Structure 1
Amino acid sequence: MATMHYTWGASAAQAKAYGFNLVDLQYASSVNALPEGSKALIWLGESNGVTQSFIDKVTPLLNNPKVFGFFLADEPDPTGRYHTQVSAANLKAESDWIHSHFPGAKTFITLMDMGSFTDSNYSNTYNPANTGIDYYGINPYPVRTTAVDFNYIDRAVAAALEAGIPQSAIVPVYQAFGGGGWTTNTGGSYVMPT
């Protein structure tokens, strides 16, 4: 995955002009219109297992050569404390279904850090052994109103490794935003890195 550069929120042509070649898309018509050299990471937002909704979203894209893979869920919650609880078994069922119906397609989630700004923790969440997912995005956003700590990135990587995610499956997610209504786990807000 080292040669792929992912973005969302832009048209495929805009993304390509800025050097991105992996684009967030949902529909076959958009995937088929991708410029040469670009691929799609299909946003599913599914975490209930292989439901009819899941099958209906994935089936039109099966074996499309412009599809890199499927983004199953953004920070699924293994505890149910912050959002609806998502089981590793449901994610495994989805990942296994995709792998069996679309050989070569990759599966991806971003992980919710269950620890703190000073002590990242991904244990008892999701990893290749319990989900079969190919890639795991970690997003230790280090720029906050209460602190700027780039060592947070190293702590998050170490925590992911400790949780059973090999380095080859870790995908960095960069902080490219600030402000808004998001509250950090330190009680502040995120600040746009400059």
Structure 2
Amino acid sequence: MRQLLTILSLIAAPAVPTAAQDFSDGSEASEWGLFGEQKARFEAAVVDPLCLLAGACDQECAPGRQLALERQADGVLVMPLKNRETVFSGAVADLAPYCGETVEVDGLLIENPEIGATNVYQVQRIRRLSEEEWTETNRFTEVWARENPSVAGEGPWFRRDPRVTAEIEEEGWLGLGPEAEDAFVRDWLGVE
């Protein structure tokens, strides 16, 4: 009887642990040389994590909400924190048109337990399961410019973004608050 129970438990156990799965097969993602990166191509549902995890679904997929990928192979929630653009911008603008759908994505999965990064994803391309052609994830700058037409000027978007400049004005460049930052600059840099 004990042998039968042992055999049954082995049959019921998953063949490959979730953490050991390899999603690199067929990936055409561009490597960035990031520590812990690996190419990863998989099918996933584009979800609103506030709705999925906290039940806050009244604004599901609304502008300004973070989006996530629920991987179909294992149900793991993957956080796509970056798109393909070289500027460090999020992937929400690229994922928003697919919210609530199952898609295929290709990009870089970051796994670095030493710094607490697990299932962090840089999505580089996306497509609906019914589509042959991939869409590159490079919409952030275009969407930002369309949403901020009064913020013209030179330089990167984040130097002109009203949310960023308001935060700097309130908290200072270092996040210490204007008074503490002024004291720091005077002390460390000898500026009066």
* Higher Cα radius of gyration: 2
Query: Which bin holds the TM-score, normalised by the shorter protein?
Result: under 0.3
Q: Which has the higher strand share?
A: 2
**Could you state the TM-score of these two structures normalised by the residue count of structure 1?**
0.24
Pick the structure with more helix per residue.
2
If asked which structure has higher relative contact order (CA below 8 Å, sep 6+), I would say 2
